[in-house]
Copies of this chain bind each other. A is one copy, B any other.
Amino acid sequence: MRVLAFLDGTLADPEAAHLRVDDLGLLRGDGVFETILVVDGRPRELRPHLERLARSAAMLDLPEPDLAAWERAAQVVIDNWSGPSEIALKLVYTRGIDGDPEAKPFGFALGVEIDEKVQRARVEGVAAITLERGIEPDLAERAPWLLLGAKSISYGVNMAALREAGRRGASDVIFTAADGTVFEGPTSTVVLARDKTLYTPPATIGILPGTTQAALFRGAERAGWSVKVEPLNVSDLTEGEGLFLASSVRKLTRVHTLDGVALTDSSAIHAELAAAYESEYAIS
Which residues of A pack against B, CB within 8 Å? 2, 4, 14-31, 33, 59-61, 90, 92, 94, 98-99, 108, 110, 112, 115, 131-136, 139, 142-148, 150, 152-161, 163-164, 178
Contact = CB atoms under 8 A, between A and B. Distances in A.
Contacts of A15: 20
A14 B22 contact: yes
Contacts of A112: 22, 98-99
A15 B99 CA distance: 13
A60 B4 contact: no
Nearest to A88: B99
- The secondary structure that dominates the A interface is mixed
Nearest to A165: B145
Contact of A26 (B92, B139, B146, B152): B92
A260 to B, nearest CB: 17
**5 interchain residue pairs of minimum CB distance:** A29-B29, A154-B156, A154-B154, A19-B19, A145-B164
A21 to B, nearest CB: 5
Contacts of A2: 22
Contacts of A16: 17, 20
Contact of A143 (B132, B147, B148, B150): B132
Nearest to A115: B99
A17 B133 CA distance: 36
Given A14-B20, A22-B14, A135-B134, A155 B157 contact: no
Contact of A156 (B26, B29, B99): B29
Contact of A160 (B145, B153, B159): B145
A24 B145 CA distance: 24
Contact of A146 (B19, B90, B134): B134
A145 B130 CA distance: 12
Contacts of A94: 26
Contact of A163 (B61, B139, B142, B164): B61
19 contacts: A4-B21, A14-B22, A17-B19, A19-B19, A19-B23, A22-B112, A26-B31, A27-B92, A28-B153, A131-B143, A132-B142, A132-B143, A134-B134, A134-B136, A134-B139, A134-B143, A147-B157, A147-B160, A154-B156
Contacts of A14: 20-22
A142 to B, nearest CB: 7
Contacts of A132: 139, 142-143, 146
A9 to B, nearest CB: 16
B23 A26 contact: yes
A160 B58 CA distance: 11
A21 B110 contact: yes
Given A19-B26, A27-B155, A132-B146, 17 more contacts: A14-B22, A17-B18, A24-B159, A25-B26, A26-B92, A26-B94, A28-B155, A59-B160, A60-B159, A60-B160, A132-B139, A132-B142, A134-B135, A134-B136, A145-B160, A146-B157, A153-B154
